Structure 1
Amino acid sequence: MAATTPVAHVHIEAVQTAVPTRVVEPGRTRLVAVAAPPLPAEALQRRVRAVLYYRGSGGGADGTMAPCAWEDGVWVKETLSEALADHPEMAGRLRRRADGSWEVKLNDTGVRLLQATVDAPLDEFLGAKNLARREAALAPWTDVNADDPDMCPPFFMQLTRFQGDGGYAVGVSCALLLADPLSLARFLLSWARTHARMRAESKATPHPMAQYLAYFQRPETTRKRLRSVPIDSFAGVGGAASETVLFRTGCPADGHHRALAAACVDQVSEALGAAKVSRFSVVVVGAPAAAAGDDGLVGKTTIETCTADDGPQEGSGGGAVAGTATALEAVQWSVLGLEELVIRDSKPVHISYSIVTDGDEGLVVVMPDGDGSLLVTATLPN
């Protein structure tokens, strides 16, 4: 009888919350204005997913994790908390407003942080044909409850160790209402710099709390895993299959975001050979305010639903967007800079970046790049 191949599992070893190391000024919010309230429940689950893979310094001879793994997990929590102090919106919670719009409440509630292991080597995991689907195991998510969103973290981070060679992955899932792809990438880069700085400082002055927590999180001092789940069970988790294309373009005149979004949707449809969607949501991210105004607002994002008739249907590929003086340029996800996210003096060997969405509508996200241009993602269901 042929031997049965063992089923790979992801084992959740610890679940914690990283909160900012400094208190946020009360009353600060980021407005999410909805053009036609109410926002559908599935829109709350739209999220950015990023998984960064790193090679380690080697594991144990028996295929167990490297001894430094648990200490690294403690340092991730410590440095993440410090980074959140400079980006308090990432530790906030979504709330519904009386007018049907939403807001991100900067209330120090924190980021959900998980530590996990996978009983498969890094190269074997990366070589799987259904990698994009399996990555849901490395970037966890729990749906935001529209009736009680305060209790639902919109940002998850998971540190996952692979078997044998010490390789690991940093996976994040972040609600699109909390942060757009560009803002998330910039936060992660900021966290990586904080992580490197604090680790370097600890070599001269050991961090007593990190040493204390590292001891109590080692495998020999923990009682049991929280849960273990087959990797392949995640293959159908994480939203409908979709394709996302990233564009760079100039800033259109006021009122032309709808035409810009429609042009992006058309170009992606043509590139994929897919049928045109009849409806799509447009998320326009406003630049964050340098300081909170009298009303406590620190920024604004607008969401509206458009139809295929809101923009050009022919001749949009690669040319100027109708009603604007801008042109679309398809670019790689590398423009977000995550290739420079260094952990333990190593750059990632592979990066996955995607937008997860449900339903049969398209989704466009318009983001200011800070240099007078825009980055625009267009996501279509397969």
Structure 2
Amino acid sequence: MPWRGGLAGTGCRETNQMAAAPAHIHIESVQTAVPTRVAADRGRLLPIAVHGPALTAAELQRRFLAVLYYRGTEGVHGQQLDEGEARARLEQAVWVTEALSAALPDHPKMAGRLRRGSDDAPSWGVKLSDAGLRFLVASADTTMSAFLAEEAKGARESNESALALWTDVDPLDPEMCAPFVMQFTRFQDGGYAIGACCSLLHADPLSLADFLKSWARTHAQLQAQSELVINQVIRYTHYFRSPAAAAKRLKSVPLVPPSAESTTKTVLFRTAAGGDAPAADDRRQALAEACIAQASEKLGVEKPARFTVLAADGSGGLNVHACTGQTRKTAASPGYALRDACWHEAGLEEVVLDGSKPVHVSCSIVSPCADEGLVVVMPAAAGGTELLISATAPSW
């Protein structure tokens, strides 16, 4: 179960401070973690087949957000770090980014870019490349316990978006935009968060979870081998010599509770994968409609008139289907028995950093298309016989 301890003893001081003046997340560094070696299939294009209207700018911003919280060295709330503490925290961020670079060659898709065809042939795809992922280093002028207390009050979605700050994909020039961003955020009490946000056109939630688990293993291996040598960190010399330079703020994001509830909510299901017959697409869409119908019922909302289905094609590509809620019966196709599932099944609670598991993990589907549903169909395991399906519906 996600950790919720320590909130009752947070004290009135922190709560009053957040109420009086919103805390901020301060972006201190924007970097690019690039693969340490060239992947064998570099340059390969994984197709995104769009069945229906052309993708809109809003649809390009649909994404999966995961945030992992870890305890750290206790700091003194409200006091500036001395040089030794500042250096230690900076070195921790360096370990994170170097492990990312070492893990990316085994996951070339995570270092790639969305690619759009010409105006005459507006196809989409994911180009495997060594462009790398965007990595942000940030600090929060609040404690982790206070942040999680605010999360418990319902401010999670708006606040957690600042822990993996997203920049919209440009529909005209997507290759210049990073569809995957990770962020290291240090809180004042020594706790820290690892935020990861990825376009759903680029990778599904389970693929992102698999990458994070691989990266954590690489992180542990590098630390065990003491491979953070001087040649690897020469570009950080300025910060090591003057840790105060790392405190330069490029952007600050206020943590303000939302004025209204989230406009979408997500329900997860698990089911058997079914066969690979020619009618597989029809079966998959019928399954998606059954999921969106059951999700709407569970949430107590009206079933959306329109929804989009994102489903892997089995060879690295993606199928995007635009559907209406009245096209098929809502009952699942024969052979599909839907069972309730949860994000815990992705295994992110087992991602160990610095010898510790996260004290709390949060996962969410972010969709700017507030009046439409979204279904993501993904293999529950490589070569497995089950599917994990997320069904996101408007909550109004």
Q: TM-score, normalised by structure 1?
A: 0.88
Aligned residue for 2:49, secondary structure, equals strand
Q: Does 1:161 align with 2:161?
A: no
- Post-superposition Cα deviations, 1:146-167, rounded to whole Å, max 9, x if no partner, equal 111111111111100001x210
Q: Give the counterpart letter for 1:362 in structure 2.
A: G
Sort the Cα spacing of 1:183 and 1:222 in 2 relative to 1 into closer, same or farther, 3 A.
closer
Q: Which of 24, 31, 40 pairs up with 1:16? A: 31
Match of 2:287 in 1: 260
Q: Does 1:89 align with 2:109?
A: yes
Aligned residue for 1:310, secondary structure, equals coil
Could you tell me how far 1:74 is from its partner in structure 2?
A: 0.8
For residues 247 and 146 of structure 2, the distance between their equivalents in structure 1, rounded to whole angstroms, comes to 29
Could you tell me how far 1:217 is from its partner in structure 2?
A: 2.6
Sort the Cα spacing of 1:325 and 1:61 in 2 relative to 1 into closer, same or farther, 3 A.
closer
- Could you tell me whether the CA contact under 8 Å between 2:32 and 2:135 is conserved in 1? yes
- Could you tell me whether the CA contact under 8 Å between 1:19 and 1:91 is conserved in 2? yes
Could you tell me how far 1:207 is from its partner in structure 2?
A: 1.6
- Could you tell me whether the CA contact under 8 Å between 1:54 and 1:348 is conserved in 2? yes
- Post-superposition Cα deviations, 1:179-227, rounded to whole Å, max 9, x if no partner, equal 101111011111111111111110xx65223554554335334473222
Could you tell me how far 1:124 is from its partner in structure 2?
A: 0.2
Match of 1:358 in 2: 368
- Post-superposition Cα deviations, 1:52-108, rounded to whole Å, max 9, x if no partner, equal 111102225764464421001111111101111110111111111243321011121
For residues 76 and 238 of structure 2, the distance between their equivalents in structure 1, rounded to whole angstroms, comes to 20
For residues 167 and 210 of structure 1, the distance between their equivalents in structure 2, rounded to whole angstroms, comes to 26
- Could you tell me whether the CA contact under 8 Å between 1:48 and 1:181 is conserved in 2? yes
Aligned residue for 1:127, secondary structure, equals helix
Q: Give the counterpart letter for 1:138 in structure 2.
A: L
- Could you tell me whether the CA contact under 8 Å between 2:53 and 2:322 is conserved in 1? no
Match of 1:43 in 2: 59
For residues 61 and 260 of structure 1, the distance between their equivalents in structure 2, rounded to whole angstroms, comes to 51
Could you tell me how far 1:131 is from its partner in structure 2?
A: 2.2
Q: How does 1:157-306 map to 2 (within 5 A)?
A: 157-163=182-188, 165-202=189-226, 207-210=229-232, 212-218=234-240, 219-222=243-246, 224-232=248-256, 235=258, 241-253=263-275, 254=280, 255-288=282-315, 299-306=316-323
- Post-superposition Cα deviations, 1:93-137, rounded to whole Å, max 9, x if no partner, equal 111124332101112111011000000010000000212221111
- Could you tell me whether the CA contact under 8 Å between 2:157 and 2:262 is conserved in 1? no
Could you tell me how far 1:334 is from its partner in structure 2?
A: 0.6
Match of 2:175 in 1: 150
Name the count of aligned residue pairs: 359
Could you tell me how far 1:49 is from its partner in structure 2?
A: 0.5
Match of 1:295 in 2: none
Q: TM-score, normalised by structure 2?
A: 0.85
Q: Does 1:307 align with 2:324?
A: yes
Could you tell me how far 1:377 is from its partner in structure 2?
A: 0.5
Gaps spanning 5+ residues in structure 2: where?
1-15
Aligned residue for 2:20, secondary structure, equals coil
Q: Which of 354, 358, 364 pairs up with 1:348? A: 358
- Could you tell me whether the CA contact under 8 Å between 1:285 and 1:301 is conserved in 2? yes
For residues 233 and 25 of structure 2, the distance between their equivalents in structure 1, rounded to whole angstroms, comes to 26
For residues 222 and 284 of structure 1, the distance between their equivalents in structure 2, rounded to whole angstroms, comes to 42
Could you tell me how far 1:304 is from its partner in structure 2?
A: 0.6
- Post-superposition Cα deviations, 1:273-311, rounded to whole Å, max 9, x if no partner, equal 1011111000111334xxxxxxxxxx2110011111233
- Could you tell me whether the CA contact under 8 Å between 1:260 and 1:311 is conserved in 2? no
For residues 259 and 58 of structure 2, the distance between their equivalents in structure 1, rounded to whole angstroms, comes to 17
Sort the Cα spacing of 1:11 and 1:223 in 2 relative to 1 into closer, same or farther, 3 A.
closer
Q: Does 1:59 align with 2:79?
A: no
For residues 60 and 259 of structure 2, the distance between their equivalents in structure 1, rounded to whole angstroms, comes to 19
Could you tell me how far 1:241 is from its partner in structure 2?
A: 2.2
Could you tell me how far 1:236 is from its partner in structure 2?
A: 7.6
Sort the Cα spacing of 1:275 and 1:35 in 2 relative to 1 into closer, same or farther, 3 A.
same
For residues 328 and 215 of structure 2, the distance between their equivalents in structure 1, rounded to whole angstroms, comes to 39
Sort the Cα spacing of 1:62 and 1:115 in 2 relative to 1 into closer, same or farther, 3 A.
same
- Could you tell me whether the CA contact under 8 Å between 2:274 and 2:385 is conserved in 1? no
Could you tell me how far 1:10 is from its partner in structure 2?
A: 1.2
- Could you tell me whether the CA contact under 8 Å between 2:42 and 2:130 is conserved in 1? no
Q: Give the counterpart letter for 1:22 in structure 2.
A: R
Sort the Cα spacing of 1:34 and 1:201 in 2 relative to 1 into closer, same or farther, 3 A.
same
Q: How does 1:107-126 map to 2 (within 5 A)?
A: 107-126=129-148
Percent identity among equivalent residues? 48
For residues 214 and 26 of structure 1, the distance between their equivalents in structure 2, rounded to whole angstroms, comes to 28
- Could you tell me whether the CA contact under 8 Å between 2:33 and 2:98 is conserved in 1? yes
- Post-superposition Cα deviations, 1:18-64, rounded to whole Å, max 9, x if no partner, equal 01111234431111111124222211100000111111022257644
